[in-house]
C-alpha cells in the first residue's frame, strides 16, 4: 500500500480506502464491519469514508461501534463524513435537509460526532452544492468546524470547478480554512470532470481527490452483462435508480472487451478498474466498497495491477471506453 498527500495538506491517506455507502447497516452489521476494518488496516488502509445520509445515520453508528471495539489509537486512522442530505428520521424541516446553511451544518457535525463516538472527525465534506445558500456562508461554517476542533480538514463532493474555486477564493480572502479535497465519481466511463473540468485546480489551489465508484456501482465487474443478478446491488429496491446505467448496452459491450484485457493482465475486471482509477497521480485515494472480507481482499488485489498499466495498456483501455465516456 502506498500513501499520498491529500492535496497540498500534510495528511497522508492510503491509495485505496474503504467506504460504507449501501453496505453498513443495510448489509454489514457491527461484527462484520469490525472484521472488514481490521482486514483493511492489516492491508495498509488508513482512511475510512462515511456520510451522515448513509442509512439515515445508521452507517455512522455501525462504523463508530466497530472503531470502539477495535480500540485503535486515534492517530492511526482517518475517518470522514459528509453533510447535505440530512436524516430521514428528522422529518422534512426546511433547515434539516438538502442544505449547507450554518444552522444545519453546526448541528450536523455534532450529530455525526455523537453517532460515531468520536471527539473529532478528520475530514468533512459538503456532500453536494447548495444553490440556495451563499457559498460564503457555507465556507465560514465549515471553517468554524475546524477552528472549534470538531474537524481537521474540509472539502466538497460533486461540486463544479467554479463552485470549488469560489469557495477557495472566499476562504483565501477572509483567511479561513480552505477546502483541500473533492470527492467526485471517477471510473473508466466517467472521467471528464476529473481529467478536464478540474485540471486547473490541481496546480492553482492544490486540490486533492478521494474518488468514489471505481466499479461504476458494479458495472465494471462484468456481472451485469446478462441482466441484473438477484443478489446484486442493482436488484435492491432502494437502488432501482441504477438499473438503467447498469444494463446499458453500449457500456456492457465495452465491458466485454475489458474482461479480455483483465484476463491478459492476469486479474479480474474489478481489479483492473480500481487500478485504473488509482494510477491517476491526481487521485489521493480510491474509495472501495465491500460487504464481506473476501470482496475487500479481492479489491486489494488491484494494488498488484497498477504497475501493469503501461502506456500501451492505457491506450487500449481508452480505445475501448472512449465511445461511452461521460
Q: What is the pLDDT of residues 275-289, one digit of tens each?
A: 999 999 999 999 999
Position 137 in a domain: yes
Q: SS3 letters for the chain?
A: CCEEECCCCCCEEECEEEECCCCECCCECHHHHHHHHHHHHHCCCCEEECCCCHHHHHHHHHHHHHHHHHCCCHHHCEEEEEECCCCHHHCCCCCCCCCCCHHHHHHHHHHHHHHHCCCCEEEEEECCCCCCCCHHHHHHHHHHHHHCCCEEEEEECCCCHHHHHHHHHHHHHHCCCCEEEECCECECCECHHHHHHCHHHHHHCCCEEEEECCCHHHHHHCCCCCCCCCCCHHHCHHHHHHHHHHCCHHHHHHHHHHHHHHHHHCCCHHHHHHHHHHCCCCEEEEEECCCCHHHHHHHHHHHHCHHHCCHHHHHHHHHHHHHHCC
Annotated catalytic residue within 24, 54, 84, 125? 54
Position 239 in a domain: no
Over pLDDT 90: what percentage of the chain?
84
Position 29 in a domain: yes
Position 250 in a domain: no
Q: What is the pLDDT of residues 218-244, one digit of tens each?
A: 999 998 777 776 766 665 666 667 778
Judged against a pLDDT cut of 80, whether residue 89 lies above it is answered with no
pLDDT at residue 176, as a whole number: 98
Domain containing 138 equals 3-217+282-290
Q: What is the mean pLDDT of residues 190-211?
A: 97
Position 189 in a domain: yes
Judged against a pLDDT cut of 70, whether residue 265 lies above it is answered with yes
Confidence (pTM): 0.92
Judged against a pLDDT cut of 70, whether residue 100 lies above it is answered with yes
Mean pLDDT, the chain, rounded, equals 94
Position 50 in a domain: yes
54 is catalytic: yes
Position 238 in a domain: no
Q: What is the pLDDT of residues 107-125, one digit of tens each?
A: 999 999 999 999 999 999 9
Least confident of 186-190, 196-200, 235-239, 300-304: 235-239
Position 325 in a domain: no
CATH number at residue 201: 3.20.20.100
Q: For the chain, what is the domain count?
A: 1
Judged against a pLDDT cut of 60, whether residue 135 lies above it is answered with yes
pLDDT at residue 224, as a whole number: 79
Q: What is the pLDDT of residues 246-258, one digit of tens each?
A: 888 999 999 999 9
Q: What is the pLDDT of residues 42-69, one digit of tens each?
A: 999 999 999 999 999 999 999 999 999 9
pLDDT at residue 245, as a whole number: 81
Amino acid at each position: 500500500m502506498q500513501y499520498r498527500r491529500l492535496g497540498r495538506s500534510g495528511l497522508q491517506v492510503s491509495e485505496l480506502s474503504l467506504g460504507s455507502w449501501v453496505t453498513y447497516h443495510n448489509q454489514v452489521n457491527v461484527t462484520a464491519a469490525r472484521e472488514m476494518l481490521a482486514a483493511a488496516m492489516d492491508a495498509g488502509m488508513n482512511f475510512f469514508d462515511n456520510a451522515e445520509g448513509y442509512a439515515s445515520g445508521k452507517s455512522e453508528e455501525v462504523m463508530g461501534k466497530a472503531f470502539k471495539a477495535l480500540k485503535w489509537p486515534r492517530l492511526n486512522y482517518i475517518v470522514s463524513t459528509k453533510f447535505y442530505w440530512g436524516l430521514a428520521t428528522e422529518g422534512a424541516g426546511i433547515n434539516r435537509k438538502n442544505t449547507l446553511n450554518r444552522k444545519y451544518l453546526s448541528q450536523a457535525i455534532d450529530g455525526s460526532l455523537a453517532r460515531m463516538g468520536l471527539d473529532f472527525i478528520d475530514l468533512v465534506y459538503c456532500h453536494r452544492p447548495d444553490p440556495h445558500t451563499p457559498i460564503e456562508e457555507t465556507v465560514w461554517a465549515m471553517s468554524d468546524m475546524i477552528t472549534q476542533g470538531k474537524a481537521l480538514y474540509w472539502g466538497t463532493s460533486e461540486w463544479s470547478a467554479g463552485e470549488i474555486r469560489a469557495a477557495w477564493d472566499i476562504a483565501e480572502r477572509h483567511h479561513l480554512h480552505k477546502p483541500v479535497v473533492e470527492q467526485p465519481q471517477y471510473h473508466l466511463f466517467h472521467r471528464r470532470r476529473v481529467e478536464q473540468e478540474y485540471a486547473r485546480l490541481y496546480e492553482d489551489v492544490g486540490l486533492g481527490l478521494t474518488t468514489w465508484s471505481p466499479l461504476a456501482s458494479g458495472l465494471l465487474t462484468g456481472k451485469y452483462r446478462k441482466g441484473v443478478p438477484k443478489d446484486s446491488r442493482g436488484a435492491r429496491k432502494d437502488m432501482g435508480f441504477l438499473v438503467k446505467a447498469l444494463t446499458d448496452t453500449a457500456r456492457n459491450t465495452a465491458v466485454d472487451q475489458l474482461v479480455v484485457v483483465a484476463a491478459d493482465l492476469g486479474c479480474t475486471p474489478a481489479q483492473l478498474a480500481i487500478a485504473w482509477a488509482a494510477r491517476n497521480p491526481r487521485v489521493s485515494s480510491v474509495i472501495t466498497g465491500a460487504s464481506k472480507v473476501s470482496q475487500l481482499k479481492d479489491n486489494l488485489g488491484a494494488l498488484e495491477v497498477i504497475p501493469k498499466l503501461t502506456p500501451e495498456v492505457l491506450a487500449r483501455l481508452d480505445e475501448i471506453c472512449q465511445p461511452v465516456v461521460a
